[in-house]
Structure 1
Amino acid sequence: MKFRRRQSEEPEINLIPFIDVLLVVLIFLMLSTTYSKFTELQVTLPTADAQAMKDRPAEIIVAISADGRYAIDSQPVEGRSVDLLAAALQAATQGKQEPVLIISADAATPHQAVVNVMDAARRANLPRLTFAANKPRE
């Protein structure tokens, strides 16, 4: 018996149908995808039509720098502990009737620095506090 060697043919892969299918899938994905911006929380802020205050209450302004340093009514506070802040706030309230504490913090201020001021205000019996902010540019 004589066995002949078969000639092996190289399989040929035709890429044109493969590319056609990929283009159809790409077009389908482009048309079916929605490009909308998703946010985690949808918040609708309230509006207020307030009249201007006739009597301005006494104010104590606490400025907090980006690196966490404090100044109370433009006077720097030595140290960063809550006890020192409470003592400085207590001294700043002398002679003022129900003052409002205004926290004016830099945008890059650590969160802990703001919490320290709020804790010091609680210790100094200053229940009225607010935050200073700029209006956004339009």
Structure 2
Amino acid sequence: MNFRPRPKEEPEINLIPFIDVLLVILIFLMLTTTYSKFTELQLKLPVADSDAQRDYPKEVIVAVTSDGRYTVKGTPVTGRNVDALAQAFADAQAAKDSVVIITADATAPHQSVITVMEAARRKGLNHITFATQNSAQAGNR
């Protein structure tokens, strides 16, 4: 008969399965979470803090009003579609290396600006920039 006391074993807590379960839950939550960035943004365009304006030797300035009318180099465009704008670029004798400067009103429809970009693409005018105002100038108005 062996009446000697046995040494007491300390219970071990195995953390590896617990960590595995937590990682699976974390991955599940990361994959199923939706982010609603766009509902939180309040945009006011076009205001930008930029360096001094550049002078381009060959520039075609296209103005877009708030109701979607266009002028190319100060000449009003009769239509509001891509073909009319493309014809206005041709009438303005825009060269392939000309820079198209889009001066759009802050409340101009987005489609109007896209129409200018599409007409420029059709005429092979690949250099496009946007005219903006500094935030200091915008505060004065």
Q: Which residue of 2 aligns with 1:100?
A: 99
In 2, Cα distance between equivalents of 1:49 and 1:67:
29
For structure 2, the 5+ residue unaligned runs are 1-39, 42-49
Kept in 1, the 8 Å contact 2:96–2:125? The answer is no
Q: Give the TM-score of the pair, scaled to structure 2.
A: 0.57
Aligned to 1:63: 63
Higher RCO, 1 vs 2 (CA within 8 Å, ≥6 residues apart): 2
CA 1:65–1:127 in 2, change beyond 3 Å: closer, same or farther?
Answer: same
Q: Percent identity?
A: 47
**1:31 aligned residue:** none
Matches within 5 A, 1:11-26: none
| Higher alpha-carbon deviation: 96-105 or 111-120 | 96-105
Aligned residues: 92
Distance, in Å, in 1 between the alignment partners of 2:119 and 2:73 is 15
Match status 1:77 vs 2:77: yes
User: Which consecutive residues of structure 1, in runs of 5 or more, have no partner in the other structure?
Assistant: 1-38, 41-47
Q: Which has the larger radius of gyration?
A: 1
Helix, strand or coil: the match of 1:113? helix
Q: Name the aligned partner's letter for residue 69 of structure 2.
A: R
Give CA-to-partner distance per residue, 1:6-35, whole Å, 9 cap, x none. xxxxxxxxxxxxxxxxxxxxxxxxxxxxxx
